[in-house]
């Protein structure tokens, strides 16, 4: 099973700014972070594919509000 804490940490690392001030929790609405962009969305999609062998698209990201939601989707897809 995919550990939620590790999942959040990996996404946080991908979204981190130069000053390393971001701190994510499962309740983080990742689309509301200051540096969220379509490029960062693609980076997150690639990270999920590389780490969990789960293929997502931008529509999948749009349907999730928090990192916990995104984690649940990744877990669901990894079990298919």
The domain spans of the chain are 4-16+26-78
pLDDT tens digits for 38-74? 999 999 999 999 999 999 999 999 999 999 999 999 9
Residue 68 contacts residue 28 (beta carbons within 8 Å):
no
Q: Say which CATH topology domain 4-16+26-78 has.
A: 1.10.1200
Task: Identify the DSSP state of 80.
Answer: -
| Residues in contact with 29: Cβ distance below 8 Å, sequence separation at least 6, in sequence order | 65, 66
Instruction: List the alpha helices (DSSP H) in 1-80.
Output: 4-15, 38-52, 58-63, 67-78
What is this structure's pTM?
0.90
pLDDT tens digits for 3-37? 999 999 999 988 887 777 788 999 999 888 888 99
| Residues in contact with 20: Cβ distance below 8 Å, sequence separation at least 6, in sequence order | none
């Amino acid at each position: 099973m995919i550990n939620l804490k590790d999942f959040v940490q990996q996404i946080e690392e991908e979204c981190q700014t130069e000053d390393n001030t971001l701190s994510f929790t499962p309740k983080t609405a990742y689309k509301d972070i200051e540096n969220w962009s379509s490029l960062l969305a693609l980076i997150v999609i690639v990270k999920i594919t590389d780490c969990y062998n789960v293929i997502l698209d931008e529509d999948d990201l749009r349907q999730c509000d928090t990192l916990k939601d995104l984690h649940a989707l990744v877990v669901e897809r990894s079990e298919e």
